């Protein structure tokens, strides 16, 4: 059973930066697609970014501001968020799915991912 634990959320002023971390209980890099999602109140959960051995994917609207990366030795996935806006306010979740999800647009579909963290709140004012 894979456990994912997010951290790094908080409150920040517009224009600021945060780095979110997702620590996995088991090695996730090989054969996994690791995704970051976010959900604002009253909104659907949306894909933010994803990473696998073959590369990274981003929501078009976030390219250039958000960067996903992975520390293979520590089994941690990061989401660096820069130039934050109030619209970025949401609960942020990491999730794990099969590597194939990262080979197509499946990574954007939260319903396909089985393993989730508890989330970390990001508030931008």
Q: pLDDT tens digits, residue range 20-63?
A: 999 988 765 567 899 999 999 999 999 999 998 889 999 999 98
d(CA 68, CA 65): 10
CB 75 within 8 A of CB 26: yes
Q: What is the pLDDT of residues 108-123, one digit of tens each?
A: 999 999 999 999 999 9
Of 76, 90, 86, whose CA–CA distance to 120 is shortest?
90
Share of the chain above pLDDT 70, in %: 97
Q: Cα separation of 49 and 59, whole Å? A: 6
Tokens standing for residue 13:
């002023």
């Amino acid at each position: 059973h894979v456990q994912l634990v997010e951290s790094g959320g908080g409150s920040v002023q517009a224009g600021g930066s945060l780095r979110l971390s997702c620590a996995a209980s088991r090695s996730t890099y090989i054969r996994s697609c690791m995704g970051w999602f976010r959900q604002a109140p009253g909104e659907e959960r949306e894909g933010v970014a994803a990473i696998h051995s073959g590369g990274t994917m981003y929501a078009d609207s976030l390219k250039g501001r958000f960067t996903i990366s992975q520390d293979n030795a520590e089994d941690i996935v990061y989401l660096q968020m820069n130039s934050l806006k109030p619209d970025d306010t949401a609960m942020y979740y990491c999730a794990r799915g099969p590597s194939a999800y990262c080979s197509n647009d499946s990574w954007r579909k939260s319903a396909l991912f089985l393993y989730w963290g508890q989330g970390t709140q990001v508030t931008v004012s």
